[in-house]
Amino acid sequence: MSLAAYCVICCRRIGTSAASPQSLTRWREIRNIIKFTGSLILGGSLFLTYEVLALKKSLTLDTQVVEREKMKSYIYVHGVSLDKRENHGFAYEARKELHKAVRKVLAASAKIFRSPFADPFSTVDVEDHECAVWLLLRKSRSGDRTARLEAVQEMSGAHHWQDYQYRIIAQACDPRTLIGLARSKESDLRFFLPPPPLPSLKEDSSIEEELRQLLASLPQTDLDECIQYFTALALNESSQSLAAQKGGLWCFGGNGLPYAESFGEVPSATVEMFCLEAMVKHSEISTHCDKIEANGGLQLLQRLYRLHKDCPKVQRNILRVVGNMALNEHLHAAIVRSGWVSLMAEALKSHHIMEASHAARTLANLDRETVQEKYQDGVYVLHPQCRTSQPIKADVLFIHGLMGAAFKTWRQQDSERAVSEEALEDEDRYTTCWPKTWLARDCPALRIISVEYDTSLSDWRARCPTERKSIAFRSTELLRKLRAAGVGDRPVIWVSHSMGGLLVKKMLVEASKKPEMSTVINNTRGMIFYSVPHHGSHLAEYSVNVRYLLFPSLEVKELSKDSPALKTLQDDFLEFAKDKNFQVLNFVETLPTYIGSMIKLHIVPVESADLGIGDVIPVDVNHLNICKPKRKDAFLYQRTLQFIRETLAKDLEN
């Protein structure tokens, strides 16, 4: 039996025995064996430190066992209450002794941090093998930023420590160090304590009801139409009314049709999703973030996050809200206190790109030590997602098109067979986002950003029926977000698919008119267009002709060949680019795309994909797969990689 186990058993026996002479003798024996030198109490757990004294006289133990236990130094047991009403006898007395020991270790750590010049361990009772941990802790609080970064790097590289050493760091480090460890790729998860216990739900209340109350507590005036729409939808509907309506107007294109379709898989999360959609919109307003935090939103969102572990759509919106709140530096302390950093550290290591990327965005917004930029809603860094010593020399931006997304648009082309779970976990066999895996490995000196924005083919299926966003509106909004993320501070290459290419052109034209955006223009090196309809799309023509069926959205209407906005944009861009030395590569599909089971369209013909600048390369794929290479050695990816390397050759060499 180990010494640690013996001590615990003795304490338990004392607690169950009366104050007999035998128990008194046992208590004195334990006090002679163990000299308690300190403990740290946090989160319902207790760390015990002990030294072995007079072991040979008191107990007959194998010497090697003793030495092994001495080097472990700490044992970890569940915490217990010191309340006399719950504990009696010598167990209570023993626990009081342990409680006193807390003060000793805290005093020791205080001496270490207060003694920058003298030997901090000359008057402190700390084992030799513990010195490195405390020295790193002190270094992590240095006034020298370089020293702090070095300390975090050394901590994250420690993989040989005992369990208690990780726990010391977890309990004693400051928020800045904790966030740095969370953003360090190799950090052990034992650096992160479990989030604190969540407050109990109010009596006769439910998560759904508390979420509604939180939403109702937010300002309801001076909001744009979409925030008002989502908020009203969440507050006015109930689970019962939603279920009743699913067989009614929902089936005929009511405003809730997209929700009814998408929530059918997770009925229990339906109302929560309505509320979270509204909460995402509110969290884009700084003052509303303050209200969310003040009314317990961080804890309530954490309860939902744990409850819906198997519902990515719910978790995604929760992470969006927390990521938006992290844009406000005065809320960082509250986010750390509520335990979100521990959850984000775990999520960052996830194999699921969406979960990892949302966590990376939130942690980057929290990390003011190494990150100057701020990543607003819909802007995700695919590489590097962790702190790195690799200097970043250029940016590559990915902008999806109609009905696309920041991650799924850029996945590897699916084979005819369904992709197995094993393949999904092996990025060499299949990647859910080739810019994050293939491009990041081939060009590690790049910062790779992907953006996301809502689009729809028809107003009938719009997420927000009051939303009528033109290409001009979206480009202004997106340019503002990208500039906040530092786009323009380095050389830039823009990569876009379908309508995303029109947004790129509009952003550059608008940036050329604003002096404060001049760096975006000056640092743009080139553009890659995947089937961008510079001169219109057959999809738009088809949608307009059958408008009574599809009710084409504003963005679809703008893609028609006779669209004045599209022609003006093309003319403006060519005029703007004529004296610039931009490198341009145009890919275009040659195969038709199936829309449903009956409609087959060649969405962007070769003549429409010809910008008038750069090479035009036809590829035997359809519109959806033009940006999805089959393999890493496929022509689509290799030609893209070649263009990026050649265009940024001088920048990457410097």
Residue percentage of the chain with pLDDT more than 70: 67
Contact 395, 487 (CB under 8 A): yes
3-state secondary structure 424-449: HHCCCCCCCCHHHHHHHHHCCCEEEE
- Which of 169, 191, 213 represents a domain boundary (last residue)? 191
- What pLDDT shows up at residue 204? 73
Domain membership of residue 339 (yes or no) is yes
Question: What span, in angstroms and rounded, lies between the C-alpha atoms of 105 and 38?
Answer: 4
Angle at 432 between CA 427 and CA 438, to 5 degrees: 55
The predicted model gives 317-327 an average pLDDT of 97
Q: For residues 188 and 293, what is the distance between their CA atoms, to the nearest angstrom? A: 29
* Residue 59 belongs to a domain: no
Q: What are the phi and psi torsion angles at 459 (to 5°)? A: -65, -25
Beta strands per DSSP E along 1-100: 34-38, 41-42, 45-52, 74-78
Q: Could you tell me which residues come within 8 angstroms of residue 321 by beta carbon, excluding any fewer than 6 positions away?
A: 276, 279, 280, 283, 292, 297, 301
Percent of the chain with pLDDT over 90: 53
Give yes or no: residues 367 and 387 share one domain: no
Q: How many domains does the chain have?
A: 3
**Residue 102 placed within a domain:** no
Nearest to 231 by CA among 285, 267, 268: 285
Summarize pLDDT for 543-572 with one digit per residue, the tens.
Answer: 545 444 444 566 666 677 777 888 999 999
Token pair 């006779």: residue? 562
Residues 162 and 216 in one domain: no
Show Cβ contacts of residue 22 under 8 Å, excluding neighbours closer than 6 positions. none
Q: Residue for token digits 């279920």?
A: 243
Residue 13 — pLDDT band, cuts 50, 70, 90? Answer: very low
User: Is 527 domain-assigned?
Assistant: yes
Residue 134 has pLDDT above 60, yes or no: yes
CATH at residue 204: 1.25.10.10
Tell whether 510 and 646 lie within a shared domain.
yes
Residues 177 and 319 in one domain: no
Pairing of strands 492-497, 394-399: parallel
Which tokens go with 26? 């046992």
Are both 455 and 589 inside the same structural domain? yes
Structural domain harbouring 430: 378-413+426-653
In a domain, 526, yes or no: yes
Do residues 464 and 230 lie in contact, with contact meaning Cβ atoms separated by under 8 Å?
yes
pLDDT per residue as tens digits for the range 248-290:
333 223 333 333 344 344 344 577 888 898 999 999 999 999 9
The pLDDT assigned to 93 comes to 63
- 319 and 397 inside one domain: no
Same domain, 567 and 513: yes
Identify the pLDDT of residue 109. 56
Q: For residue 593, is pLDDT > 60?
A: yes
Distances (CA, A) of 547 to 254, 282, 464, 541, 557: 16, 33, 19, 10, 10
Question: Is the per-residue pLDDT at 334 higher than 50?
Answer: yes
Which stretch of DSSP H or E encloses residue 232? helix 225-236
Q: Phi first, then psi: give them for residue 99, nearest 5 degrees.
A: -65, -40
Q: Does residue 389 fall inside a structural domain?
A: yes
Greater pLDDT, 27 or 498: 498
pLDDT by residue (tens digit) across 222-241? 888 888 888 888 887 644 44
- Are 392 and 361 found together in one domain? no
Q: How many angstroms from the chain centroid is the CA of residue 242?
A: 31
Question: Is 566 in the same domain as 551?
Answer: yes
- pLDDT (mean) for 437-448: 97
Mean pLDDT computed over every residue of the chain: 78
Q: What is the pLDDT of residue 289?
A: 97
pTM: 0.78
Residues 207 and 156 occupy one common structural domain: no
- The verdict on 182 and 215 lying in the same domain is no
440 vs 438: CA distance, rounded Å:
6
Instruction: Dump the DSSP string for 443-468.
Output: -TTEEEEEE-----SBGGG-SSTT--
The C-alpha angle 45, 51, 56, rounded to 5 degrees, equals 130
Q: How confident is the model at residue 124 (pLDDT cuts 50, 70, 90)?
A: very low
Mean of pLDDT values over 191-199: 93
What does the pLDDT read at residue 565?
Answer: 86
In this structure, the answer to whether residues 483 and 564 fall within a common structural domain is yes
Angle among Cα 276, 282, 288 to the nearest 5 degrees reads 125
Distance separating alpha carbons of residues 13 and 363, to the nearest angstrom = 47
Give the count of beta carbons closer than 10 Å to the beta carbon of residue 380: 27
In whole angstroms, give the CA distance from residue 480 to residue 493. 17
Q: pLDDT digits over 345-368, tens only?
A: 999 999 999 999 999 999 999 999
Instruction: Specify the pairing of strand 593-595 against strand 599-601.
Output: antiparallel
